Amino acid sequence: MSLDGRPASPTLGPVDRCSAGQPRAGLFITLEGPDGSGKSSLQARLVDVLRHAGCEVVATREPGSTPLGEQLRRLVLDVEPRIDRTGRADALLFAASRAQHVDEVIRPALARGKIVICDRYADSSLAYQGAGSGVPIDELRAVQQFATAGVAPDLTILLDLPAEIGLARKSAEVTRFEAFQDLAYHERVRAAFLGFAAAEPGRYAIVDATREATEVLAAAVEAVRRLAVWMPCLERTSG
């Protein structure tokens, strides 16, 4: 399904390559996965590979990446003040950061023909606030549609790994999501991401994040090369 709940086309075609009805010049790639799946280090390596190939890349992340977004990031990830247990306030805070991010960073970069690589996006809200915290998924999808104005990824790379391995990797740096959510929460998040990938195989590429970093990078580069038809610089990439 697409973010607004309509069935997604099984392949990425020109009709999908629009932001709010406007054709896009750039490419929008998101990295998703449970906590500790290694998205941030993959992002840095992938950006290097793409720039080396001559691609123009904008690396960004959620929550954050704008002045408002960084303030919201602190609010939403700090252990204090404790936010709601239902996930609804969380969903709106993440969505506010996302709306600003789309407007200030993502949409302008796509219009200028850049490849935008974003560490987490709307699927994180569906997985964490939806499957994790229990906010009804249809309501959340409507919030995502509102926040993003329909700007959806061309490709989502899912770094998949068992929740306990991810949490063990992250033990040094604890956000509210590691501090207060139990293993079952993170298992629901992982299962949700796998479910989204199964429902939208044309958009998602699943990468086994328990593998060596070089193998993870190679798998990600292979997935990105699928988009070379729209971005010829991607032909020159090699993992």
Q: How far is the CB of 141 from ligand TYD (least distance, A)?
A: 13
**Residue (169 or 236) nearer to ligand TYD, CB:** 169
CB of 87 to ligand TYD, least distance (A): 8
* Residue of 19, 60, 125, 156 that binds ligand TYD (CB under 6 A): 125
CB 53, CB 233: distance < 8 Å: yes
Q: Tell the smallest beta-carbon distance from residue 180 to ligand TYD (Å).
A: 11
Q: Is 148 in the site for ligand TYD (CB under 6 A)?
A: no
Q: Is 77 among the residues that bind ligand TYD (CB under 6 A)? A: yes
When asked if residue 63 is in the footprint of ligand TYD (CB under 6 A), the reply is: yes
* CB of 123 vs ligand TYD, minimal distance in Å: 8
Q: In this chain, which stretch among 4-12, 123-131, 207-215, 229-237 interacts with ligand TYD, using CB under 6 A?
A: 123-131
Site string (183-222) toward ligand TYD, x via CB under 6 A: ----------------------------------------
The distance of closest approach from Cβ of residue 109 to ligand TYD in the complex, given in angstroms and rounded to an integer, is 18
- Run of H or E residues at 239: none
CB-based contacts of 182: which residues, under 8 Å, 6+ apart? none
Give residue 239's identity as a one-letter amino acid code: G
Does 30 bind ligand TYD (CB under 6 A)? Our answer is: no
Give just the sign of the alpha carbon dihedral 105, 19, 53, 220: positive
State the residue number with the nearest CB to ligand TYD.
Answer: 128
DSSP designation for 105: I
CA dihedral sign, ordered 222, 224, 225, 227: positive
Of the residues 43, 100, 124, 237, which one makes contact with ligand TYD according to CB under 6 A: 124
C-alpha closest to that of 20 among 123, 97, 108, 91: 108
Nearer to ligand TYD, 143 or 217 (CB): 143
Residue holding tokens 């929008």?
A: 28
- As a whole number of angstroms, the distance between CA 58 and CA 18 comes to 18
Taking each continuous run of H as one helix and of E as one strand, the counts in the chain are 10, 7
Binding footprint of ligand TYD, residue count (CB under 6 A): 14
For the record, the structure tokens of 124 come out as 């994180």
Q: Do 110 and 20 touch, CB atoms closer than 8 A?
A: no
- What phi and psi, each to the nearest 5 degrees, are found at residue 183? -60, -40
Minimum distance of ligand TYD from residue 94's CB (angstroms): 4
Q: List residues near ligand TYD by CB under 6 A.
A: 35, 39-40, 62-63, 77, 94, 120, 124-125, 128-129, 175, 177
